[in-house]
Amino acid sequence: MKLLLINSVLGFGSTGRIVLDLAKEYEKNGYEVKIAYGRKSNDSADGRKYGVRIGGDMDVYFHVLYTRLTDKHGLASKSATKKFLKWAEEFNPEVLWLHNIHDYYINYELLFDWIKSRPQMEVKWTLHDCWSFTGHCSHFEYVKCDKWEKGCENCPQLDQYPKSKVDNSYDNYNRKKHAFAGVKNMTLITPSSWLKNLVKKSFLSEYPVEVVYNTIDTNVFKPVPSTFKQDHGIQDKKMILGVASTWNDRKGLKDFVELSKLLPEDRYKIVLIGLNEKQIESLKAEAPRILGMPRTSNVNELIKAYSAADVFVNPTYEDTFPTVNMEAEACGIPVITYNTGGCAETIERDDSVAVDHSIKVLVSLIINNNL
């Protein structure tokens, strides 16, 4: 049996790690496995063993430019996709498992034409966001948009991924609807019941949808001895931790700035991990009570930060299923998260809570619970 996985990245980021773990699992069960990817792969033996790249850097750059100028994301990369599909036909998989098919590397119409030409092939598609059933965006909670339920047009988020200078959301919506419809033997998978409920309202409702929660390795993420507070001179304060791969207002950066102004400075210290250099410098002036730190690829350092914290706060306005909440709990600390997307589905501790979007509520919970 042969399994072909397709994702934007391999062994890099959350979805890249997920497809790599799936490849290893299926290989143990006797499958021959390959992972087709378009953007990044970790430079490892696993990456070289499983990886098949779709196109190259120049294909990606052109796809980005094409998207910026036309808002036709996922409709470039024709040559790269045709070359890949010729290889895929020769590989001849019995099972195809799609993950993120956006991110500037593959032409979804050509891909789904090929899929429909192979009705005997079992197809799975794990949706990590909402891009598959909208005319433009990958998330819409922040702007409270529901146009995707009937048909997109006049998109309010052209300045968000995948960014564009023009609006082609009406055409995108209909082309996706046509391309993704009518696939024999396809099952959709979502990492949260929240996303499943959205899918069932969309034009993808013809397909069965399974909820499979993302997991973390609790042999890795667990409480450890940590000198993080001492190392940063905050051993006399309660540490409030926030972690993100990319910080912006949608992830709650603005809320953290406001939170820092409302909490007693002598008792609390907010630590944010994952900021870029510009953000770190900006916070020194705008919110000096926040300790800003860059993103770390060292998992052990991240675990030490989790273990040292007194509470993990996640004031996100858009999220499908944030594993950072799970990582924090696994490292022994409670989580306060906004009740966004699938966030409530990630928490298990009795002292963790999902709340409405309110800085005042965050302040009250932190102070009144003596955190």
* CATH code for the domain in which residue 356 is found: 3.40.50.2000
Q: Alpha-carbon distance 324 to 171, whole Å?
A: 36
Tell me how many domains the chain contains.
2
CA dihedral 324, 328, 334, 338 (to 10 degrees): -10
The pTM of this model reads: 0.92
One domain for residues 335 and 308: yes
Whether residue 156 is preceded by a cis peptide bond, meaning omega within 30 degrees of 0, is no
Same domain, 179 and 235: no
The domain spanning residue 46 has which CATH number?
Answer: 3.40.50
The pLDDT profile of the chain, 371 residues, written as one tens digit per residue, is 999 999 999 987 789 889 999 999 999 999 999 999 999 887 778 888 999 999 999 999 999 999 999 999 999 999 999 999 999 999 999 999 999 999 999 999 999 999 999 999 999 999 999 999 999 999 999 999 999 999 999 999 999 999 999 999 999 999 999 999 999 999 999 999 999 999 999 999 999 999 999 998 899 999 999 999 999 999 999 999 999 989 999 999 999 999 999 999 999 999 999 999 999 999 999 999 999 999 887 889 999 999 999 999 999 999 999 999 999 999 999 999 999 999 999 999 999 999 999 999 999 999 987 66
Beta bridge partners of 98: 6, 125
156 located within any domain = yes
Classify residue 305: in a domain, yes or no: yes
Same domain, 12 and 126: yes
65 domain residue, yes or no:
yes
Question: Do the Cβ atoms of 67 and 59 come closer than 8 Å?
Answer: no
Expressed as residue numbers, the domain containing 147 is: 2-211
Q: Are residues 190 and 256 in the same domain?
A: no
Strands 122-126 and 186-190, bridge-based pairing: parallel
Task: Answer whether 336's CB lies under 8 Å from 355's CB.
Answer: yes
User: Is 223 part of a structural domain of the chain?
Assistant: no
For residues 275 and 337, membership in a common domain is answered with: yes
Whether 236 and 202 share a structural domain = no
Closest CA to 177 of 150, 137, 209: 150
In contact, 157 and 170? CB cutoff 8 Å? no
The tokens describing 258, both together, are: 């406001």
Tell me: do 92 and 200 sit in the same domain. yes
Closest CA relative to residue 9, chosen from 20, 25, 24: 20
Q: Do the domain assignments include residue 217? A: no
What is the spatial distance between Cα 146 and Cα 128, in angstroms, rounded to a whole number? Answer: 18
- Do 256 and 199 reside in the same domain of the chain? no
